[in-house]
Amino acid sequence: MTREAIFTAAQALFTERGFDDVTVAEIADAANISVKTLFTYIGAKEELLFSGGPTVLDAVVDAVRNRKLAQTPLVAAGQALLRAVDDKDPDKNLDAFLRIAHGGPAARSRLRALWDETEDALTEALTAKKDRPRDVAARRLTAAQIMVLVRTVTSAEVTDLVAKAADTDKQRKEALKDWIRDAAGQLARGLQAASR
């Protein structure tokens, strides 16, 4: 329970103020523990980034893994991102995820590592036991295509675009959804999305 309290407190503070503007002492205080106790659960503050539970990226992998029979992996991923815009769970909410992701150099570094981990997980989700090496390579290509969408949606450029496109939260959500739909459509037309 203490570990969960630490991650919950950290995610809330990171979402509110950004990774670089939150101290370990503030996280410990919010979790009602000492800093010494906090470090019995983690080795460094960076370990608290995106580690509390399932994230938007996990939702994308799950959507691809559990997609409908005729649904392309790209469509499944796009729909997961669209759902994440409105998700009430802060761990799975795209806006909260983006605020943490753009919280400073350490957060951006962790995000790049998460992109790699997510591409690996997508490749695994798309690969069947009977797949031969060429098939597995094709699944990696599909995973990489999906990650183009994910990476752009989680980029500083798209965050800036959405922020400048609207004045209210509702308008920003709609602008982000429009970007996701347009980007997924452009990728599908330009990359011949795999139907497997």
Contacts of 4 (CB under 8 A, 6+ apart): 52
Crossing angle (nearest 10°) for helices 133-153 and 56-65: 140
pLDDT at position 44 is: 85
pLDDT at position 192 is: 52
* 168-173 contacts, C-beta under 8 A, 24 or more apart: 172/95, 173/85, 173/86, 173/95
- The Cα 59–Cα 65 span in angstroms is 10
Q: Which CATH superfamily is domain 2-48 in?
A: Homeodomain-like (1.10.10.60)
- Phi, psi (rounded to 5 degrees) for 24: -60, -35
Listed by start position, the domains of the chain span: 2-48, 56-191
State pTM to two decimals.
Answer: 0.81
pLDDT at position 173 is: 92
User: Are the CB atoms for 126 and 73 separated by under 8 Å?
Assistant: yes
pLDDT tens digits for the chain (196 residues)?
Answer: 788 899 889 888 888 888 888 999 999 999 999 999 999 998 888 888 876 667 899 999 999 999 999 999 999 999 999 999 999 887 788 988 887 888 778 888 888 888 999 999 999 999 999 999 999 999 999 999 999 999 999 888 998 899 888 789 899 999 999 999 999 999 998 855 444 4
